[in-house]
Chains A and B, each alone.
Chain A
Amino acid sequence: MNKTPAIELRNITKTFGKVFANRDVSLEVFYGEILSLLGENGSGKTTLMNMIAGIYYPDEGQILVNGEEAVIRSPKDAFRYKIGMIHQHFKLVDVFTATENVILGLKEKGRYDIKKAREKVKAISEQYGFEIDPDKKIYEMSVSEKQTVEIIKVLYRGADILMLDEPTAVLTPQETEKLFKVLRKMKEAGKAIVIITHKLHEVLAISDRVSVLRKGAYIGTLETAATNESELTEMMVGKKISLNIDRTDPKDPEERLIVAHLSCMNREGLKVLKDVSFTAYSGEILGIAGIAGSGQRELLETIAGLQPITDGGIQYITPGTGIIENLRDKTPMEIRALGVRLSFVPEDRLGMGLVGNMDITENMMLRSYRRGRSVFLEKKAPKSLADQIIEQLEVVTPSRETAVRKLSGGNVQKVLVGREIAAAPTVLMAAYPVRGLDINSSYLIYNLLNEQKANGVAVIFVGEDLDVLVELCDRILVIGHGEVTGIVDGRTAKKEEIGLLMTKGGSKV
């Protein structure tokens, strides 16, 4: 191709603190083509696009627009270069109509004329085949309609280069098909389009070329027509890296938690879990792998009694006696009353797990405050537990009376995990327990999980790093679009295999 690229990135590097979000990335996008940007969670796709959209500024490297070096310091600058980005989280005012949202912030010449704007919105919709009512209020719209408004907003401002951040993540297959039709029309109209995704079949369906990022680094670009799923998966997940996490064999595994045909819906009435079945054994670590938002959170929350279940059952087998308890439709309190020792380390540490403004002792009491008999709080036991956790897990804190919000991410996580383990659980569920932690803290958490495993606890570990999952877990359950797409043995599984399973599922809705 000897055309001038719409956008050319040269050796872009961006760091957040000490973490490389993007390292030495170079790629090109041409007019009249759709480029897919493929990569796992945290591979730096969104960060890269945000630099083109003016939300971040690169630490090093150049961005060239139409062959000339461009300095893009704000979304406004980006618009001047006719670059528009459609973010994953829509930026729309709920009580405004579609048209009002489209013209928001524009300083058009002449009088404020909503009618003229509405006509223009209509014209754009017809040109590209959007189905949208310009007078409909945003809060009455479906997710797909909101996305349409975002796209029209960008087109209304005359963008020729469009970037879409995981546009299909929130859409049904039918809506996705519609979106793709629109994107193809825009491509025919000569626009340059970048679409961020981690769904392989979509990459193959829509794009002309695909660029792959892995852990912030640029891996390569392929012609879509000349590649296939397994090649892309390999580029995406990369070669196996050895982490040297200890893994002992499970000791006398017995069934502890049986989940059968579990389904649940989210608030919008969409099914987020479909017919999920698995068994967790004592003395093993069951990993859960999947693309973010595939239903991992809902799975743990339904087991913990925090989310209503529409279908299926959850059974707990009491160690020793073998008595079966039914956990379905029970609140966390009822579950505890049954004598089921379930510990849950939620993803949202300072939202669901701990109270940021309370100190370590008080956070310990969140689990034990019911035990006291007198009117006054019984602080002695929680205080010694707090001291014990601070000492054993090496929590770096000025004092026991420091609000946990003031601690670093790793130390917050230590406090939370420490508290949950102190409850001597028989089932321990941890969602992304090492997210945001440095390597040492991560290993500390792995060791804690292993310790629990050795004590005969059934550990369920939701992770995002495949390298960790295959080294830490005895078995790995892969979830895609709310369905179990496979359960593999952690000792023999290949990363590529898991990566491929992650993108499956959701075909039949």
Chain B
Amino acid sequence: MNPFVMFLQRAVIMGVPLIYGATGETITEKSGHLNLGIPGIMYVGSISGVIGAFLYESAVGRENVNPALGILIPLVACLVGSLLMGLIYSFFTVSLRANQNVTGLALTTFGVGIGNFFGGSLIKLTNSELPSVNLTTTSNLFKTPLPFAKDLGWFGEIFLSYGFLAYLGIFLAIFAAIIMKRTRVGLHLRAVGENPATADAAGINVGRYKYFATCLGSMIAGLGGLYYIMDYANGVWSNDGFGDRGWLAIALVIFTVWKTDLGIIGAILFGGLMIVNNYIPGLGLADQELIRILPYLVTIIVLIIVSAREKRETQPPQSLGLSYFREDR
């Protein structure tokens, strides 16, 4: 295969979890909540899917896995797991008005802990030599590419060779952008994040929008974790394998100035930057590590440019990170 085509394909695969994470986080931030629990939520989404797939695979045996159930069970498990995380976050920050940063960071620590705890337990159950859980059967279901991918040369490789979750992620990002821009719900959601007092006075149920946006955002982010484990990692769970993708997703939100459709391109760019070191020949280990910091560097540069330009449309939602009390005037 042409190395460039391969690089592009890998960049997309690296980018998809970020698309999910950034789309979820953007929706949440549009309601005025900075959810730093996203890395933990994606991790929980990942392990929940693994638990679902593991239980199903061991219940019926690898040979008897029904393709529909094999996809559905991990998918639902992942959504439920990340929804629970989203509910915890919303309960603390919306209902109890706890500090969003503290809650988010705690949630990330909690999510990673939960993931490693269950991951470790599953590894023990398999009695295998390696410290990992292997769910190749389920993974293969998730990785089924679109038809004709093989026959269309480079075009098929770049555009049609991914599992369905990749397309779902891109669809969700575009769909979210349309909702945000062109519907009443989007208008109201943006109003809640910009100026909750105004939204409240206009008769919008601020709390409900915040809960809704946070929980939906968490579920979408969780799917990023599922894609990572089932597609990128070939269904092989090992503790702490997810890396810093959650943080990259949050950086991506800033990078794309809170626009989910831009997030698709941004995620693929970040994905490319994460692996470009493997495609530049003759790099030493030190240089490779240096190149790996590029996504963060790019984010910082964009952040500086955006703040320097002071264009209101590219600023974060005005009440991002602030709790809303109706009685505060």
A residues neighboring B (CB under 8 Å): 75-76, 91-96, 100, 103-107, 112, 137, 139
- Minimum CB–CB distance from A71 to chain B (whole Å) comes to 17
B182 & A112 in contact (Cβ 8 Å cutoff): yes
Cα separation A112 to B198 with both chains bound (whole Å): 20
Chain B, range 299-327, C-beta contacts under 8 Å to A? 312-313, 315, 318
A104 & B198 in contact (Cβ 8 Å cutoff): yes
Contact among A91, A94, A96, A100 for B201, CB-based, below 8 A = A91
Given contacts A94-B194, A112-B187, 15 further A-B contacts (CB under 8 A): A91-B195, A91-B197, A91-B202, A92-B198, A94-B195, A94-B312, A94-B318, A95-B312, A96-B187, A96-B190, A96-B191, A96-B194, A103-B187, A105-B199, A106-B202
Given contacts A105-B188, A137-B312, contact A75 B194 (CB under 8 A): no
What are 8 A-B pairs with beta-carbon distances under 8 A? A93-B195, A93-B199, A94-B318, A95-B315, A105-B204, A107-B184, A112-B183, A139-B312
B198 & A93 in contact (Cβ 8 Å cutoff): yes
- Minimum CB–CB distance from A358 to chain B (whole Å) comes to 20
B203 & A76 in contact (Cβ 8 Å cutoff): yes
Chain B, range 180-216, C-beta contacts under 8 Å to A? 182-184, 187-188, 190-191, 194-195, 197-199, 201-204
Cα separation A76 to B199 with both chains bound (whole Å): 12
Contact among A75, A96, A112 for B203, CB-based, below 8 A = A75
Across-interface contacts of A106 in B (CB, < 8 A): 202
Cα separation A92 to B188 with both chains bound (whole Å): 12
Contact among A94, A96, A104, A112 for B204, CB-based, below 8 A = A104
Q: Count the B residues whose beta carbon is within 8 Å of the partner chain — how many?
A: 20
User: Which among B183, B184, B199 has the highest number of chain A CB atoms within 10 Å?
Assistant: B184
Given contacts A76-B203, A100-B187, A104-B188, contact A95 B198 (CB under 8 A): no
A93 & B184 in contact (Cβ 8 Å cutoff): no
Q: Closest residue to B204 on the A side, CB-wise?
A: A105
Given contacts A104-B191, A112-B183, contact A75 B198 (CB under 8 A): no
Cα separation A87 to B245 with both chains bound (whole Å): 46
Contact among B183, B188, B199, B201 for A75, CB-based, below 8 A = B201
Q: Closest residue to B194 on the A side, CB-wise?
A: A93
Cα separation A105 to B196 with both chains bound (whole Å): 12
Cα separation A93 to B198 with both chains bound (whole Å): 7
A93 & B191 in contact (Cβ 8 Å cutoff): yes
Across-interface contacts of A93 in B (CB, < 8 A): 190-191, 194-195, 198-199
Across-interface contacts of A94 in B (CB, < 8 A): 194-195, 312, 318
Across-interface contacts of B195 in A (CB, < 8 A): 91-94
Cα separation A107 to B190 with both chains bound (whole Å): 16
Given contacts A93-B190, A96-B191, contact A105 B183 (CB under 8 A): no
Summarize B's interface: helix, strand, loop or mixed.
helix
Total number of A-B contacts with CB less than 8 angstroms? 54
Across-interface contacts of B194 in A (CB, < 8 A): 93-96
Contact among A91, A107, A137 for B198, CB-based, below 8 A = A91
Cα separation A92 to B197 with both chains bound (whole Å): 9
Across-interface contacts of B204 in A (CB, < 8 A): 104-105
A112 & B197 in contact (Cβ 8 Å cutoff): no
Across-interface contacts of B201 in A (CB, < 8 A): 75, 91, 105
A112 & B191 in contact (Cβ 8 Å cutoff): no
- Minimum CB–CB distance from A155 to chain B (whole Å) comes to 15
Q: Closest residue to A76 on the B side, CB-wise?
A: B203
Cα separation A107 to B203 with both chains bound (whole Å): 10
Q: Closest residue to B203 on the A side, CB-wise?
A: A105
Cα separation A95 to B257 with both chains bound (whole Å): 14
Cα separation A39 to B202 with both chains bound (whole Å): 29
Cα separation A76 to B203 with both chains bound (whole Å): 7
Across-interface contacts of A96 in B (CB, < 8 A): 187, 190-191, 194
Cα separation A7 to B201 with both chains bound (whole Å): 22
Across-interface contacts of A76 in B (CB, < 8 A): 203
Across-interface contacts of A104 in B (CB, < 8 A): 187-188, 191, 198-199, 202, 204
Q: Closest residue to B185 on the A side, CB-wise?
A: A112
Across-interface contacts of B199 in A (CB, < 8 A): 93, 104-105
Cα separation A96 to B199 with both chains bound (whole Å): 12
Cα separation A103 to B202 with both chains bound (whole Å): 9
Across-interface contacts of A112 in B (CB, < 8 A): 182-184, 187
Across-interface contacts of B190 in A (CB, < 8 A): 93, 95-96
- Minimum CB–CB distance from A232 to chain B (whole Å) comes to 30
Q: Closest residue to B196 on the A side, CB-wise?
A: A93
Cα separation A105 to B200 with both chains bound (whole Å): 9
Cα separation A139 to B203 with both chains bound (whole Å): 22
Q: Closest residue to B313 on the A side, CB-wise?
A: A95
Cα separation A8 to B188 with both chains bound (whole Å): 35
Across-interface contacts of A107 in B (CB, < 8 A): 184
Across-interface contacts of A139 in B (CB, < 8 A): 312
- Minimum CB–CB distance from B90 to chain A (whole Å) comes to 22
Cα separation A96 to B188 with both chains bound (whole Å): 11
Across-interface contacts of B312 in A (CB, < 8 A): 94-95, 137, 139
Q: Closest residue to A104 on the B side, CB-wise?
A: B202
Which 9 residue pairs are nearest across A and B when measured between Cβ atoms? A105-B202, A91-B198, A112-B184, A105-B203, A104-B202, A93-B194, A91-B201, A93-B195, A93-B191
Cα separation A69 to B184 with both chains bound (whole Å): 34
Cα separation A91 to B200 with both chains bound (whole Å): 10
Across-interface contacts of A92 in B (CB, < 8 A): 195, 198
- Minimum CB–CB distance from A88 to chain B (whole Å) comes to 12
Cα separation A102 to B111 with both chains bound (whole Å): 42
Across-interface contacts of B198 in A (CB, < 8 A): 91-93, 104
Cα separation A104 to B184 with both chains bound (whole Å): 8
